[in-house]
Structure 1
Amino acid sequence: MPAPEDTELLTLLSTGLALLEPDGRVQWLNPALGEMLDVGPRTAVGQNLSALLRNPALLPHLARTLGEGRAFNLRGTAFHVGRGRELVADVTMQPVAEERILVEVHPLAPDLTPAATPLSATLRGLAHEVKNPLAGLRGAAQLLERRLGDDDLRQLASMVIAEADRLAALADGLLRHGGSARIAPVNVHELLERLEALVAAEPGAPATRHDYDPSLPDIQGDADRLLQVLLNLTRNATQASARTITLRTRVDHGVRLGERVVRAALRVDIVDDGSGVPAELRDTLFQPLVSGHPEGTGLGLALSREIALEHGGDLRYTSHPGETTFSLYLPMERA
């Protein structure tokens, strides 16, 4: 069994985990794997994992893992689990103490196939990989929240938990086949308050100013995804050495968004006084893998614009040294 102090964190992971006896019988598995197999963790104990996955080809690999004392990976393997469902997954097997085998099961969404575009596969692979550290981060923050006596520190731990949940939901959106935005009423000024709190919590954060139109109604959108767009924009401003970021909201009329002209669009501006967008990047800034920062991935703005388009809106910018404005446009009436 996993050490008692580790069990609480292991149960929070979204990756399916099982600890096996040398003959392949389950000694322990976490709830994530139980959900994948449609079996209770306690019910699974004592059963052979290859029988639960209905794939006898797994047994030779388990034996080889112990025999050679090293990890083995099975990529894109099809298994048949509870209620006749097919599970396509990557499986990692590695030997651990006392001749036990630790098995990790990473289910693949239907889009994670060789036919997927390289960028699509890369983004979904990235989403898959970040879910485990996010779960560990959330679990650690929960333990801290319970043990801290200071209210301010507990509030910071709660913020970490909320952000871990938000990013896990974004990762789920990338992993779900045809995952769509979760549309609900969004108060954009409440969203900007969350953004300001997150910006202020980062080291060396620039000062923030407000220029709001208080008459704005709620819009229909996915709050988590929209917050991610705004976070990407403010972090770009920070990387551009901005000392001040202005958050501005307005309503524009007769705006062209894609192939249609909307009567009214909400505009959220992120204005910074940083160094601006380099001239050589201005025509390709929203393309994937284009970045003006040495350590940048070039995915933030590409994903941000994709989220804007997903909401029927757009993401645009104007820039010169000392003032750069990224504008998120969202239709007041969702198409």
Structure 2
Amino acid sequence: MNEADCPSWAEPMTTGLARVDATLRLQWINPALAECLAIGLRSAAGQPLARWLDDAALAQARRALAEQRPLQWREMLLADLAGRELRADIALQPFADGLLLEVHVLAAPMPLASPLSATLRGFAHEVKNPLAGLRGAAQLLQRRVDSDDLRALAGLIIDEADRLGTLANRLLHHDGAPQLGPVNIHQLLERLTDLLQADPSSPQLRHDYDPSVPDLQGDADRLQQVLLNLVRNAAEAGAQTLTLRTRVEHGVRVSERMLRMALRVDVIDDGSGVPVALRDSLFEPLVSGRADGTGLGLALSREIAHEHGGELRCSSRPGHTVFSLHLPLERTHD
């Protein structure tokens, strides 16, 4: 293998990785780090670490190399080749006759009004590597199984891992704006159905679609995440039957705005319902009715609804809970 070639084990990693030789020059970097630093995989070989680190940090790196000990920096400022300034957690580990460099790029500080996003960035950081492992295992299964059905299920796992990886990257890089495009809500709901039916313990599904619903402008990945969060909550509340319903509504008030035309997606379940004590704080971060719950799913879902100019609401009693996602079908002014 050419020294500039990234080893196969490092290529799928979502953490930025590089090998640094004894002269503190890059020998190879993986695609994740190349993207972060805006540099080509080949052109990175031979670049001095001094291109990104100051003299004090270089001196520490030389000592770490000489003493063969790990070194970590928190929230270090870097500049990529395009001149964009980045903040990153950086680790150096002894590796053969050099060092293994790990770079975790951090998001820009968020406004104090958005504490949820800071929580989610930490969560996204933690799930990226397990997602890469999950994807790799699914790829191996897809190649080794003989059944078309099993290969399709493995492909579903790969697609979901990729989607979650994209969401994690957006949170980590603070790409706050949704990536808007035409979205067919029924296609998202049918994909959701495929995911649920892959689990034999999932509730019985019913569909009540309005065929006249037009496409909306939205971020398909983020909206898919909202719907997935809602049906998972229903399943965890002991629902036996789950109904997915779509309707077009006119004259819907969302916060201080009046939407002339809106899409309403209802997720209706017959589970135990939302506990009375949680109803006022249901969409707040870190609020959960389950001992093993993270309290992030509904908070994230409402934040995504707000990003799209919409709203997420809930009405609940034992045996009948409705989460309603309202989304604008045309942009209106206040």
Tell me whether the two structures share a fold, i.e. TM-score over 0.5: yes
Q: Are residue 44 (structure 1) and residue 41 (structure 2) matched?
A: no
Q: Residue 178 of structure 1: CA displacement?
A: 5.0
Mapped contact 2:207–2:244 kept (Cα < 8 A): yes
Task: Work out the CA distance in 1 between the residues paired with 2:86 and 2:213.
Answer: 46
Mapped contact 1:20–1:102 kept (Cα < 8 A): yes
1:21 is matched with 21
Q: Which range moved further: 101-110 or 115-124?
A: 115-124
Mapped contact 1:173–1:180 kept (Cα < 8 A): no
Structure 1 84/218 Cα, relative in aligned 2: closer, same or farther at 3 Å? closer
Q: Residue 116 of structure 1: CA displacement?
A: 8.7
Q: Which range moved further: 309-318 or 141-150?
A: 141-150
Q: Are residue 74 (structure 1) and residue 53 (structure 2) matched?
A: no
Q: Residue 175 of structure 1: CA displacement?
A: 2.7
Residue 280 of structure 2 aligns to a residue whose secondary structure is coil
Query: Which amino acid letter does the alignment assign opposite residue 161 of structure 1?
Result: I
Structure 1 333/116 Cα, relative in aligned 2: closer, same or farther at 3 Å? closer
1:85 is matched with 84
* Aligned residue among 323, 326, 331 for 1:326: 323
Residue 288 of structure 1 aligns to a residue whose secondary structure is coil
**Identity score, percent:** 59
Q: Residue 68 of structure 1: CA displacement?
A: 5.2
Q: Are residue 252 (structure 1) and residue 234 (structure 2) matched?
A: no
1:60 is matched with 59
Task: Work out the CA distance in 1 between the residues paired with 2:322 and 2:115.
Answer: 31
1:197 is matched with 194
Mapped contact 1:90–1:106 kept (Cα < 8 A): yes
Residue 233 of structure 1 aligns to a residue whose secondary structure is helix
The number of residues matched between the two structures is: 329
Structure 1: tracts of 5 or more residues without a match: none
Residue 57 of structure 1 aligns to a residue whose secondary structure is helix
Structure 1 261/92 Cα, relative in aligned 2: closer, same or farther at 3 Å? same
Structure 2: tracts of 5 or more residues without a match: none
Q: Residue 14 of structure 1: CA displacement?
A: 2.7
Q: Residue 191 of structure 1: CA displacement?
A: 0.8
Mapped contact 2:105–2:172 kept (Cα < 8 A): no
1:100 is matched with 98
Task: Work out the CA distance in 1 between the residues paired with 2:302 and 2:114.
Answer: 18
Q: Residue 54 of structure 1: CA displacement?
A: 4.4
Task: Work out the CA distance in 1 between the residues paired with 2:59 and 2:244.
Answer: 59
Structure 1 176/147 Cα, relative in aligned 2: closer, same or farther at 3 Å? same
Structure 1 158/250 Cα, relative in aligned 2: closer, same or farther at 3 Å? same
Q: Residue 242 of structure 1: CA displacement?
A: 0.8
Task: Work out the CA distance in 2 between the residues paired with 1:76 and 1:271.
Answer: 44
Structure 1 326/8 Cα, relative in aligned 2: closer, same or farther at 3 Å? same
Task: Work out the CA distance in 2 between the residues paired with 1:119 and 1:188.
Answer: 26
Q: Residue 57 of structure 1: CA displacement?
A: 2.8
Task: State the Cα RMSD in Å.
Answer: 2.5
